[in-house]
Amino acid sequence: MKSVDAPNSQRVIAMTTKLLFVLLLAIAAAFPLSSGAQIVLPTYLQVVVGTTSDDVNAVGCSLRQALATVASDANVGDCQRQRLAGDRPNQILFDSAIVPGQIILTQQLDVTADTAINGPGQEVFQISGVGAHRIFQVSTAELVVRDITLTQGSTMADGGAILSDGPVTVSNSRIINSRATSIGGFGGAIAIESGGSLLLRSSEISGCSADFGGGGLSLRGPFEISDSIISNNDAQNGGAVLAIADGTISGSQITNNNTSLGSSIQVSAANVVVESSTLTAGSGTSERLIELLADGVLRVSGSHLQDLSGTGVGVLALDGANFTNVELTIENSTITGSRGIAAQNFLALLNSTITVTETPALQFFSGGTARGRIANSIVVSDGADDCVTNGATLVENSHNIYTDGDCTDVQENLIFADPALGPLSDYGGPTLTRLPLAGSPAIDAGNLFCPGTDQRGFARTDGLCDIGAIEVGATDTLFADGFE
């Protein structure tokens, strides 16, 4: 007896159920219940912008009038709203007759109802605040911005291009040359208030500045940044990103941002993950790559960090007098350039490769109260002390390669030798790495507890874990069959 019909019969049942449901909805719509408990199908408004003018007397529907049309559910000016079936947020589109084009604002745009602004492409359409106006202020509504460039937003408060206390999504877009100029201002491009959140996808934030915090992004609400570029932004603290709420940064390039006091990414009282990303500071900038403060927890994995900006510290995890529980984990990552890591509370360095010119490559401080876990890692500087404990307790110090220094407590299979690494280069995966050369003491010398993949995301399958961020001979299993 064949039983292969089971999936088909399930499909028939599912289709029948769906048809019945649609029929019931139709009946319900045709015969509303007398009690008033009518079933309401979801709808959304769609408005097409037909002019780039921001003048209230201009002919055609302007973006400002389109936003007002959505917010009031009544046509404003020449705008003609359509009500469509579906549960999307309200949509604002742009007539192809005004593309390519630019909207020059006469004042900021207020977003008071859930709205998606679907641009025609970041290369062909932009909204400019002409260095005088913020672009969008969002109350508690949701704002989605797609396929558009926002440029020259400016405010005397926070959020040069966008200030929001609601959820914001920016995708396939650019926010450039925007500023929060007030003394103590936050968020040169975007400031997210504590009631808001940010999804930044496949977008670029560059050339923005804030006087105080978050030259690119100031984040007081949760965030998710992926496949994006944040470069050449500037602030006193957090030249690229100031994170005061939990979030993730993945597949992104955070490069050449500048700060006068702090770091490229500053994390304060938040739990942040950075993965599969590249963080660099150029020789012309004066910053740390990452600064972790005040009850912060930071995990960096599968990433490349390079600081060419001079002496001092590239990654700093600092617990001030009243701060506790600052935890920094760096796993499957490569740190190159001039400066390494300093940690004041808890640091875990796992299967990572640090090769820097300044000494030390890794140091603990704060008078011996710090704790460290260092395993399967390469920690080498050009100077005389690769790793300095300053009295810190090493709870694990296993299968590491140093050339010198005093990180010799709880010693387990330490190797003091040149790690024999190839130059920083593209050996596969999303970030640059240093591949151990043939005969490197790193090969097959790690302990049993290494992660299942290396920095590139390649599986460590030979059963003998290599020390550092790269597993020699590992292959790209994820993409080997041509499918993700």
Is 454 one of the binding residues for Ca ion (CB under 5 A)? no
Run of H or E residues at 128:
strand 125-128
Strands 82-85 and 43-49 come out as antiparallel
Cα R_g (the chain), whole angstroms: 27
Asked if 462 interacts with Ca ion (CB under 5 A), we say yes
Tokens of 213: 């915090």
Q: How far is the CB of 388 from Ca ion (least distance, A)?
A: 11
Which is closer to Ca ion, CB of 409 or CB of 444?
444
Q: Which stretch binds Ca ion (CB under 5 A): 184-192, 201-209, 299-307, 402-410?
A: 402-410
Piece in contact with Ca ion (CB under 5 A), picked from 87-95, 133-141, 369-377, 385-393: 385-393
Q: Which helix (H) or strand (E) holds 10?
A: helix 6-30
Instruction: Find the shortest distance in angstroms from Cβ 359 to Ca ion.
Output: 7
Question: Could you write out the DSSP letters of every residue in 290-310?
Answer: EEEESS-EEEEES-EEEE-S-
386 part of the interface to Ca ion, by CB under 5 A:
yes
Using CB positions, name the residue nearest to Ca ion.
Answer: 403
What tokens appear for 482 in the block? 């041509």
CB closer to Ca ion out of 264 and 403 = 403
Output 54 or 466, the one with its CB closest to Ca ion.
Answer: 466
Select from 443, 467, 430 the least CA-distant residue to 302: 430
Query: Does residue number 418 form part of the binding site for Ca ion (CB under 5 A)?
Result: no
Which residue of 333, 403, 433, 455 would you call a contact of Ca ion, by CB under 5 A? 403
Interface with Ca ion (CB under 5 A), residue total: 8
Distance between CA 109 and CA 9 in Å, rounded?
54
**Cα–Cα distance, 168 to 310 (Å, whole number):** 37
* Distance in Å, CB of 384 to Ca ion, minimum: 6
Kindly state whether residue 406 participates in binding Ca ion, applying the rule CB under 5 A. Answer: no
Residue 385: CB minimum distance to Ca ion, A: 7
Q: Does 464 bind Ca ion (CB under 5 A)?
A: yes
Q: Would you count residue 466 as binding Ca ion (CB under 5 A)?
A: yes
Burial 205-231 (b: 16+ CB within 10 A, else e): bbbbbbbbbbbbbbbbbbbbbbbbbbb
Min dist. Cβ of residue 380 to Ca ion (A): 6
Binding test (CB under 5 A) with Ca ion, winner from 121, 444, 459, 478: 444
d(CA 311, CA 337): 10
Q: Identify which of residues 78 and 444 has a Cβ nearer to Ca ion in the complex.
A: 444
Contact (CB, 8 A) for 242 and 261? no
CB nearer to Ca ion: give 291 or 466: 466
Burial tier of 203 (Cβ tally within 10 Å: 0-12, 13-18, 19+): buried
CB nearer to Ca ion: give 235 or 388: 388
Token pair recorded at residue 390: 């300053």
| Residues binding Ca ion (CB under 5 A) | 381, 386, 403-404, 444, 462, 464, 466
